Amino acid sequence: MKFAVFTVSTPTYTPEDAVAKLKEIGYDGIEWRVIDEEPYGGPPGFWKGNLCNLSLSSIVEEAPRFRRLASDAGLGTPTIAPYVKCNDIEGAALAMRGATALGVSQLRIQVPSYSAEEPFQPKWDRAREHYKSIAELAATLGVRALIELHHRTICPSASSARLFLDGFDPAHVGVIHDAGNMVYEGFENYRLGLEILGPYLAHIHLKNARWFPIRTLPDRTVEWSVDAAAVHKGMVDVRALFRALHAIGYDGWVTIEDFSIERPLDERLAENLAYVKAVEAETRLVGGATAAPSSASRAM
């Protein structure tokens, strides 16, 4: 497998800093965050003031610089991660043209958010129609649009994403499996989910999170909340995830995100790579990869 870092988790680095540091540590790639951020006067953070973005509005113009940065550092770019929703065809087309300019064949295009206070089926049906247009656009532009499994969206689980994409050509659409997001919502046994995705499995995101009690009510009900955790400390069973990846023959990219802040960024980048490489090797040697390579592996 090959390991990358999603730059949403490197907010204090410039793009130049990021490629230099990832090369030094030994990563194989970088996954750019693509967004036009609002001005922010505070310190750089994951979602505000992040210094390591590629601008969506100027992505085509900026692509040669970012492509050269990664290439000169010997880093691949497995995908890019815009925040474009599937009902934004114009934004999706721009992001897809930017991906092509970067030499990247796949990119995230998001499905709508979801709240239990609203009806589900109309939102699902509209989003399916929108994603049909996204799939057609992706086919025309020669890229692959990816849904990321994400809590508080209409596709929080592997089975929901597979159902959502039913009937669409997996050559043009696919899924980013994200076990960390599934801690918040959408957990399914890892191998079950990966096999359900089948040819739609395109990419892996790896982060971690944990649930913790916040208070006990007078009737003894315990209320819980969830937050980010270090990759090796949360509720994602990283070994089980890699055993499942080996079992289905996946040998593609794994992009690491870490939103914990208990260690300095340099340290967590280095420690995370050492940890996941050790777990990947251990689970490969113990379990072996007996299945045929997945479509995501073959695409790489």
* Beta strands across the sheet bearing 33-34: 53-54, 33-34, 81-82
pLDDT at 294 over 70: no
pLDDT at 296 over 70: no
pLDDT at 295 over 90: no
| pLDDT classification of 293: cutoffs 50, 70, 90 | low
Average pLDDT over residues 233-254: 98
Give CA–CA dist 66/248, Å, rounded.
Answer: 33
Domains and CATH numbers, the chain: 2-299 (3.20.20.150)
Give yes or no for a contact between 258 and 230, defined as CB atoms under 8 angstroms apart.
yes
Give CA–CA dist 16/14, Å, rounded.
Answer: 5
Question: One-letter amino acid identity for 166?
Answer: D
Average pLDDT over residues 259-286: 96
Give the global pTM. Answer: 0.95
What are the tokens at 36? 């036009």
| pLDDT classification of 272: cutoffs 50, 70, 90 | very high
Give tens-digit pLDDT for 60-88.
Answer: 999 999 999 999 999 999 999 999 999 99
Give CA–CA dist 48/193, Å, rounded.
Answer: 32
More confident residue, 290 or 118: 118
| CA distance readout (Å), 111 to 143, 196, 209 | 17, 19, 22
pLDDT, position 286: 77
Burial of 147 (0-12, 13-18, 19+ CB in 10 A): buried
| pLDDT classification of 285: cutoffs 50, 70, 90 | confident
Average pLDDT over residues 281-291: 72
Give tens-digit pLDDT for 259-270.
Answer: 999 999 999 999
What are the tokens at 112? 């709508």
Number of DSSP helices (H) and strands (E) in the chain, helices first: 10, 12
Strands 53-54 and 33-34: parallel
What are the tokens at 65? 């610089």
Question: One-letter amino acid identity for 140?
Answer: T
β-sheet bridge partners, residue 85: 110
pLDDT, position 9: 98
Give tens-digit pLDDT for 117-167.
Answer: 999 999 999 999 999 999 999 999 999 999 999 999 999 999 999 999 999
Give yes or no for a contact between 9 and 257, defined as CB atoms under 8 angstroms apart.
yes
Average pLDDT over residues 171-193: 98
DSSP codes joined into one string, 146-179: EEEP-TTBS--SHHHHHHHTTTS-TTTEEEEEET
Give yes or no for a contact between 140 and 169, defined as CB atoms under 8 angstroms apart.
no
pLDDT, position 297: 53
What are the tokens at 283? 């689970």
Query: What mean pLDDT is reported for the chain?
Result: 95
By three-state DSSP, how is residue 245 classified? helix
| pLDDT classification of 243: cutoffs 50, 70, 90 | very high
Average pLDDT over residues 6-34: 98
Q: Which residues of 267-283 are buried (b: 16+ CB within 10 A; e: fewer)?
A: ebbbbbbebbeebbeeb
pLDDT, position 299: 46
Average pLDDT over residues 196-213: 98
